[in-house]
Structure 1
Amino acid sequence: MSTSSTSSGRGTSPAAPLRTRVVPPSGGPGSAEDPALREDLLRTWVDVSEAGGSVGFVPPVDPAAVAVALDGTLARVREGRDVLVVLEEAEDGVERLRAVGMGVLLAGSTPITAHWRTVVRLMVAPHLQGRGAGRRLLAAVHAAARDLGLEQLSLTVRDGQGLQPFYERAGYVVVGRHPGALRVGPGDDRDEVRLVVRF
């Protein structure tokens, strides 16, 4: 989840409506097979990373590297393994809604962990920071988890980004810390903090 307040300067109205939805694995426009959705998510992921969001990359960001990660994510969604929730925004002069955020429920690999999943890649576009978009997206991820019958979710945050209080307000509790797990630059190692919410 990015904490940046940088504006993307895309000219979207501050009052533009937002909606969330679970992305179907297949089926044409709006599905995990949709090239337009991929383009939106790639733009969002790069923008969030460039603004300093802790979503797997640090500035300066190589869009090709982000594309590889995104394509892997979309492949797992198309295969029915993971669940992708997107946040969409109306854009002036554009008929379709544009994806400006996402979160993924990553499937476990064994039956004994089938009652919970890991939340990864939770992010909203920088221009939406401070407008409640992150809370709305996280609530939609939680709703998708409940629809799957899950009992708990786990996620990790990069220490020093101010993200822990955001998740704690949503019911998450810290269950562990990996000191120095994330090397975001030379001489800049950060702890990875693991949080869990139970339904």
Structure 2
Amino acid sequence: MRYVLDPGMDRATVDGACRLWADVVNAGGAVGFVPPVTAEDVRPELLKHLTAMSEGRTRLLAGLDAAGEVKATAFFTLNTHRLMRHWVWLYSVMVHPDLQGTGTGRALMASAEEAARAMDGVRGIRLTCRGGMGLEHFYAACGYKEVGRVPEAIRVGDDDYRDDITMWLPLT
């Protein structure tokens, strides 16, 4: 797996990212949807990320396999507020279900940290994750610290509410 910051977003890459997103959701991943979804269901959300990329507000870190297929993603959103330009958001962190448990997620997070360290003036990474899935333990193992939690802020189904957990990785 090779990790590429700001890969070219040709049709094959966009379609591959849509397939990845749908596969992750349908395997139970907590990336903004609840299953079942299709690649076309997630495409509008990906297009929002792509628009932000074209405007210079978002950057994509893609994990590509030997064939160049998108198998992992992490999107950086840059802060525009003058008091918060020293940190970035990390969104839509995904690893294909077939690669989970292989170290690919840790490698993706290490590559994200490396990419953020190379961004001018960035001193931290902030992300949120859905409670009830153990994701905060994975991110903690990658060096992130839980810094906030909003109980039951995420509704994933009738009578199924999850905490919204904020994690922070200082880069200094």
Higher relative contact order (CA 8 A, sep 6+): 1
1:63 and 2:39 correspond = yes
Q: Which runs of 5+ in 2 are unaligned?
A: none
TM-score for both structures, normalised by structure 2: 0.95
Output the CA distance in 1 between the equivalents of 2:138 and 2:82.
Answer: 31
TM-score for both structures, normalised by structure 1: 0.82
| 1:81 corresponds to which of 57, 68, 78 | 57
- Number of residue pairs the alignment of both structures matches: 170
Cα 1:63–1:40 shift into 2, 3 Å:
closer
User: 1:97-116 counterparts in 2 under 5 A?
Assistant: 97-116=68-87
Give, in angstroms, the shift of residue 139 of structure 1: 1.0
* Residues 18 and 40, structure 2, Cα contact 8 Å, conserved in 1: no
Output the CA distance in 1 between the equivalents of 2:14 and 2:39.
Answer: 13
Q: Which runs of 5+ in 1 are unaligned?
A: 1-17, 24-29, 92-96
Give, in angstroms, the shift of residue 63 of structure 1: 3.3
| 2:104 corresponds to which of 130, 133, 152 | 133
Name the structure 2 match of 1:43: 19
Q: Is the partner of 2:149 in helix, strand or coil? A: strand
User: Identity across aligned pairs (percent)?
Assistant: 36
For residues 5-61 of structure 1, the C-alpha deviation after alignment (integer angstroms, 9 at most, x for no partner) is xxxxxxxxxxxxx110102xxxxxx413x1111011000000000011000001111
Give the aligned CA root-mean-square deviation in angstroms: 1.1
For residues 45-84 of structure 1, the C-alpha deviation after alignment (integer angstroms, 9 at most, x for no partner) is 0000001100000111143331000011011112221110
Give, in angstroms, the shift of residue 104 of structure 1: 0.7
Question: Which structure would you say has the larger Rg?
Answer: 1
Output the CA distance in 2 between the equivalents of 1:90 and 1:117.
Answer: 29
The amino acid that maps onto 1:69 is E
Give, in angstroms, the shift of residue 109 of structure 1: 2.7
Structure 1 runs of 4+ aligned residues shifted over 6 Å read: none
Give, in angstroms, the shift of residue 102 of structure 1: 0.4
